[in-house]
Amino acid sequence: MTLGLLALLSTLFWGLESQSPPPPLPLPLPPPPSSSSIFDAIVALDGSGNFMSITEALQAAPNNSDRRYTIQIKEGIYNEHVFVHKNKTNITFIGEGMDRTIITGCKSNGTGFKTNETATVDIHGHGFVAQDITIQNTAGASMHQAVATSISADHVAFYRCKFDGYQDTLYARKGVQFFRDCEVYGTVDFIFGNAKVILQNCSICVRKPEDIQNEVTITAQGRKRKHEDTAIVLQGCTINVSQEVREPEPKVRVFLGRPWKNHSRAIVMSSYLDDFIDPEGWVEWNGNTEDIYFGEYNNRGPGANMDGRVKWAKILSEYDVSNFTVRNFLHGHEWIPYEIPMALDLL
**Which three-class secondary structure state does DSSP give residue 243?**
helix
At residue 257, does pLDDT exceed 80? yes
- Which DSSP category does 10 fall into? H
Average pLDDT over residues 33-39: 60
Distance CA 343, CA 347 (A): 7
pLDDT of residue 38: 85
Average pLDDT over residues 3-30: 41
At residue 166, does pLDDT exceed 80? yes
Report yes or no: 125 and 89 within 8 Å, Cβ to Cβ: yes
pTM: 0.89
> Domains of the chain, with CATH numbers?
39-172 (2.160.20.10), 187-337 (2.160.20.10)
User: Is residue 189 flagged as an active site residue?
Assistant: yes
User: Which residues are bridge partners to 206 per DSSP?
Assistant: 186, 241
pLDDT of residue 26: 38
pLDDT of residue 142: 95
Q: How confident is the model over 185-195, as pLDDT tens digits? A: 999 999 999 99
pLDDT of residue 37: 65
* DSSP character string of 49-78: SSBSSHHHHHHHSPTT-SS-EEEEE-SEEE
> Among the options 132, 189, 274, 278, which is catalytic?
189
Rg for the chain, CA atoms, rounded: 24
pLDDT of residue 34: 44
Q: Which residues contact 139 (CB under 8 A, 6 or more apart)?
A: 106, 107, 108, 110, 111, 118, 146, 165, 166
